Amino acid sequence: MTSMELEAYKAELACEILTTDSRQVLDEVKRLLTKLSKKTKKKEETISKEEILAGKDADVIVIETMTDLLETKAAVLAAKENSNLPVFVTMTFEENKRTFTGCSVSAMVLTIVGLGVDAIGVNCSLGPDQLAPIVEEIGKWSDIPVIVKANAGLPDPVTNEYDVTPEQFVEDYKQMLKFGARIFGGCCGTNPEYIRAVKAMLVEAQKNNEFESKTTCNMFSN
């Protein structure tokens, strides 16, 4: 059972409370959710382990577009227990600085950094301008390199074209250097033109000493 399926099941159980004795239902809900949580965690850890072993010849493990902290933790543990590769983790946040399942930025950083990952950050869901406050929040809690992989804004419902140009994309990225962002890429709506623009921006930033030389700047795209 996936995290989404678990949430749907929780909603179904909540509806039953309206038509059944509350104490009896609450006791049953508690019992079933505890059981389901254990099963879900075990299944997620098993799947994550299989994926890690399948990619044993990779250069780096990237765990991205995550919304559930428990699922993310299971993936990181599988990576750390079954390989010696660097581990990068990004979760997906809304403008309210929470994931779809309600995880806060601080909870994500404190939990995942504590597991020994090599870089942490955010990807997808929003354009670079909207992600800036989230990146700033991540930087406040993190002492490791921060990853940013924004969307190229939002797609037009008619043309399906994204509304942030490569030029605007990198302008919004520049401000994130001071928040600790060191690994940049692109998500939905981006293409090689965006990544070339990001690379050029970072090369220029290095020349101008806009970040410490000991940190690594990389560019990658989904």
Give the contacts of 161 (CB within 8 A, at least 6 positions apart): 155
pLDDT at position 206 is 87
Instruction: Specify the range with the lowest mean pLDDT, choosing from 55-64, 70-79, 145-154, 195-204.
Output: 55-64
Residue 69 to residue 72: CA distance in whole angstroms: 5
d(CA 172, CA 123): 15
Model confidence pLDDT, tens digit, residues 115-142: 999 999 999 989 999 999 999 999 999 9
Which residues, including other chains, have CB under 8 Å from residue 3's CB and lie 6 or more apart? 40, 44, 67, 68, 70, 71, 101
Domain span including residue 209: 58-221
Residues forming a β-bridge with 147: 121, 183
Same domain, 33 and 78: no
**Same domain? 48 vs 155:** no
DSSP 8-state code for residue 217 = -
| Rounded-to-integer distance, Cα 7 and Cα 33, Å | 10
Query: Does residue 183 sit in the same domain as residue 128?
Result: yes
Report whether pLDDT(76) > 80. yes
Q: What is the mean pLDDT of the chain?
A: 84
Contacts of 80 (CB under 8 A, 6+ apart): 87, 115, 116
| pLDDT value at residue 215 | 45
Whole-number pLDDT of residue 187: 96
79 and 175 both lie in a single domain:
yes
pTM of the model: 0.74
Domain count within the chain:
2
Query: If you average pLDDT over residues 59-76, what whole number do you get?
Result: 94
Answer whether residue 18 shows pLDDT above 90: no
Radius of gyration for the alpha carbons in the chain, expressed in angstroms and rounded: 20
Whether residue 99 sits in one domain with residue 187: yes
Whether 8 and 104 map to the same domain: the answer is no
Instruction: Compute the average pLDDT of residues 11-17.
Output: 58
Percent of the chain residues topping a pLDDT of 70:
73
CATH number of the domain residue 214 falls in: 3.20.20.330
Q: What tens digit of pLDDT does each residue of 32-63 get?
A: 666 655 555 555 556 567 777 776 788 999 99
